[in-house]
Amino acid sequence: MSGTPPEHEILIYIHVQDKLNQLDEGVPFPVEIDSTLSKALDAMSCIPFIQFPLISYYTTPHKCTLTLAGADAGTLGQPDIDIILQNSTPSSFGRGSENVMDPSYRSGQEIPAIKLEFGDTIGEVLAYPTDAVKVTMFPGRRIELKLYKLAVYEHGGHFDWHMDSTHSDGHHATLLVALNTSWKGGDLVLRRNDVETHVNLQPQSGDKKEPILQAVAFFTDTEHCVEPVTEGIRIILQYDIEVGEKEEHKQEYYDDEADIWLDRAQSDYSTRMEFQGAAQTTADKAAVEKVLDTIAELHKSGVGEVAFALQYLYRKASISAQYLKGSDAVLYNALLATGAFQVSLHPVVLTQVSVDDGESNERYAYRFGDDVGVDTSNGASLAKKKKITREFHVPKLSAIKQISARDYVEHTGNSAMEAEYRYFGGGMFVRPK
């Protein structure tokens, strides 16, 4: 997107460049854009964040102590702003492979995790966020919160549109916890598929005298920005959410307790992005069943392998069941739970070739690691001659990113050059057992 630095590794995805010229060696999947399955996938998609109050049944989060480089910096509820400012340094951000300073793009200060220490109650304070994120964002997986830094935005502080850099293959979401300070402006704005949602992290008044601190978690491939602070100071703890192995106990692919929130959510994506409930990332049970039924019908109609683009971006090394998030995880678990499908996950490159008048517009998806039925002498043309028994569906809410573009050229010698565009994403591939 114009003006957005290529901060997230997937946005540039350098690793696929040396393989792009080898795509014709694989058997292509014809791409379906506006299909029954793509519509069903859009209907079950989950919004990419969850906002919640920082509550604890065992202690008061407000009283958890904070120490900076050995100095007492108050508590989460009454932070010592002077000590925090003395220990903070100007913030940089990732642009490609470099960290750069650009106050016009990001103006703020920060303190790295290594300088931060908390009181013994911090584990109890983070217990509720951990459970909330696990149930709604990474169903059936273990997660770990790793403190990354403390971010400070004074008057005029801001951060333009970006995605969070990932710090490991297991890093798939971010948790922000706002300390009890006063500020105006400085909204966190989340954006996905051009739908924007403002998140207010201001402390809220509770039944007691103590303020209720606010937190939000969102996937790392969610675009977001911090609007300029117009008054006061905004102080935020930032945690990396690391995803681990499966939980030992069996977990269903949807959560019955979350259904009460789903009654308030609409299938329209814009409305769901505006929905401020405690289970914003949980897929609707009936919508999941519709996707399963649609896939089964496609198999019955003769499509031997049904595939579709994932809703979220992942590192190439992390396109695996262990790291799936949101509706991707929900659907993967649901497909396996039926016992009727074989499911695999792969990086995918999609190609679109067209001429200037738009009459010829061919779309194909190529799966990395696809060595089944490949004729390397003429793979693509062989697939077109045969009856196609595979399809790749692209929902409107899928996460695919353009990695190369060649525009139409009217005259190149005696003929025109077709336009060709290529995109990267993750794909889920489903065969009947």
Domains of the chain (ranges plus CATH)? 9-46+283-432 (no CATH), 49-259 (2.60.120)
d(CA 84, CA 209): 25
Per-residue pLDDT of the chain (433 residues; tens, 9 = 90+): 334 443 344 444 444 445 544 544 467 898 998 899 999 998 887 767 888 888 776 667 888 999 998 899 999 999 999 999 999 999 987 665 567 778 889 999 999 999 999 999 898 889 888 888 887 788 778 899 999 999 999 999 999 999 888 888 899 999 999 999 999 999 999 887 677 888 889 998 766 677 889 999 998 988 899 999 999 999 999 999 999 887 765 444 334 333 322 232 223 333 434 433 333 455 678 889 999 999 999 999 999 999 999 988 887 667 888 888 878 888 999 999 999 999 999 988 888 877 665 555 788 898 876 543 333 333 344 344 445 589 999 988 788 877 777 766 555 555 656 777 888 889 999 999 9
Burial 135-148 (b: 16+ CB within 10 A, else e): bbbbbbbebebebb
Contact 17, 23 (CB under 8 A): no
Contact 400, 415 (CB under 8 A): no
Task: Tell me the pairing of strands 409-412 and 106-107.
Answer: unpaired
- Using CA atoms, how far residue 141 sits from 144, 272, 310, 395, 410, in Å, is 10, 24, 18, 25, 52
Q: Which of 211, 171, 247, 230 is nearest to 8 (CA)?
A: 171
Predicted pLDDT at 416 = 58
Burial 14-53 (b: 16+ CB within 10 A, else e): eebeeeeeebbbbbbbebbeebebbebbbbbbbbbbbbbe
Residue 425 tokens, joined: 């994403």
* DSSP letter assigned to residue 120: T
Burial 176-196 (b: 16+ CB within 10 A, else e): bbbbbbebebbbbebbbbebe
Instruction: Give the position of tokens 């109050």.
Output: 53
* DSSP letter assigned to residue 276: -
- Reported as half-sphere exposure (CB side, CA atoms, 13 A), residue 298 has a value of 29
- Kindly tell me the sign of the dihedral angle through the C-alpha atoms of 264, 270, 275, 280: positive
Q: Which of 162, 175, 82 is nearest to 131 (CA)?
A: 175
Amino acid symbol at 187: D
d(CA 277, CA 266): 12
- Reported as half-sphere exposure (CB side, CA atoms, 13 A), residue 247 has a value of 16
Contact 233, 154 (CB under 8 A): yes
Q: How far is CA 353 from the centre of its chain?
A: 28
- Kindly tell me the sign of the dihedral angle through the C-alpha atoms of 43, 45, 48, 54: positive
Predicted pLDDT at 330 = 85
